[in-house]
Amino acid sequence: MFKIVKREEMSEGTVILNEIEAPLIARKAKPGQFVILKATEDGERIPLTMAETDPEKGTITIIYMVVGKSTALFKTLQVGDGYQDVIGPLGKPTHLEKVGTVVCVGGGTGVAVLHPITRALKEIGNHVICIIGARSKDLLILEDKMRDASTELHVCTDDGSYGHHGFVTDVLKDVLEKEDVKLAVAIGPVPMMKFVSLITKEKEVKTIVSLNPIMVDGTGMCGGCRVSIGGENKFACVDGPEFDGHQVDYDELMKRLQAYCEDEKTCHNDFCQMQS
């Protein structure tokens, strides 16, 4: 069993943080990599990115949004409980490079995934401008940590309950006008990554996105996570999860994410609306 040593509700009932004992994974994990977790014998294998790792303590931290049956089950786990299986680190680590000015765009729980990448980009000497957003103030996570990890932070909410009233893409356009941005990193809901990529493409700014297709094994043996990148099939779990944002077929990804919608409703019926 992989024991939970710390649990926090970052946004009440919807965004949960777990720090989990997994020394072998903590020893190897790099920013951008993920784990697959299964809570119980009959549970589903769920991929989640590591938001933090502590090799000394032998722990990894995940932050997840409660969206369906499995994440709802995860939510019931308290400190002292554990996951039956945790597998990782999976996926390719982020390619970190000193390029000058970088803009990091995060939406929803994508911010948790973005945090270690942002921090690492800054540590190697980049000027890092961050734009993070959420539907409303109470869903916004990691604001303080993101402020520490970046050179400059912008916050947006869709409903205007906090920070800039509007989408992260509005702020992004401004930033791209004013600064000489060399690289963009966008992690969040698929539509957000799609629109960020459209904007950066116009400005010819290289853009990395992190994709979240449905996965089973996470080791390249099922092909369920296949995504079209520049017209070619790639397996997100081994070739990604990060890809060149300008090459991704987002519409196909959005459709494929709906593959089990009906079944998942049987399993946990209040979910599908949230995706759309």
Partner 1 sequence: MSTQPDKKAKKKPIQRVAMPEQAPEIRRRNFEEVPLGYTPEMAMEEASRCLQCKKPACVEGCPVNVDIPGFIKLIKEGDFTGAARNLWTRNALPAVCGRVCPQEIQCEGHCIVGKKGAPVAIGNLERFAADYEREQGSGALPPKAESTGKKVAVVGSGPSALTVAGDLVVKGHDVTVLEAFHKPGGVLVYGIPEFRLPKAIVAQEIDFLARQGANVECNQVVGRTVSIDELFEDGYDAVYLGVGAGLPRFLNVPGENLIGILSANEYLTRANLMKAYLFPKVDTPIPHGKNVVVLGAGNVAMDSARTAMRLGAESVKIVYRRSRDEMPARNAEIHHAEEEGIEMFLLTAPTKFVGDENGRLTGMECLQMELGEPDESGRRRPVAKEGSEFHMDCDLAIIAVGSGANPLLTQSTPDLSLNKWGYIMADQETGKTSKKGVWAGGDIVTGAATVILAMGAGRKAADSIHDYLTWGW
Interacting residue ranges for partner 1, rule: CB under 8 A: 24-25, 28, 38, 42-45, 69-70, 73, 84-90, 216-217, 219-224, 226, 228, 233, 238, 252, 255-256, 258-260, 263-264, 266-267
Binding segment for ligand FAD (CB under 6 A), chosen from 4-12, 95-103, 108-116, 144-152, is 108-116
Q: Which tokens belong to 190?
A: 């698929």
Among 223, 230, 251, 269, binds ligand FES (CB under 6 A): 223
Three-state secondary structure string covering 96-112: CCCCCEEEEEEECCHHH
* Least distance to partner 1, CB of residue 214, Å: 10
| Residue whose C-alpha is closest to residue 65's, from 139, 137, 108, 15 | 15
Residue type, 274: M
Is 109 one of the binding residues for ligand FAD (CB under 6 A)? yes
Which stretch, 172-180, 198-206, 210-218, 248-256, contacts ligand FES (CB under 6 A)? Answer: 210-218
186, HSE (Cβ side, Cα atoms, 13 Å): 25
What are the b/e assignments for 40-78, b being 16+ CB within 10 Å?
eeebbebbbbbbbbeeeebbbbbbbbbbbbbbebbbebe
What does the alpha-carbon distance between residue 43 and residue 47 come to, in Å, rounded to a whole number? 13
First-to-final CA distance of the chain: 35
The span from the CA of 162 to the CA of 27, in Å, is 38
Stretch that binds ligand FAD, among 69-77, 122-130, 150-158, 201-209 (CB under 6 A): 69-77
Judged by CB under 6 A, the residue of 143, 179, 217, 249 near ligand FES is: 217
Alpha-carbon Rg for the chain in angstroms: 18
Residue 41 or 144: the one with the smaller Cβ distance to partner 1 is 41
Of 42 and 177, nearer to ligand FAD (C-beta) is 42
User: Which option in partner 1, ligand FAD, ligand FES, none does residue 79 bind, with CB closer than 5 to 8 A by kind?
Assistant: none
Residues within the interface to ligand FAD (CB under 6 A)? 34, 44-49, 63-65, 67-71, 109, 112-113, 212-215, 241, 257, 261, 264, 268, 271, 275
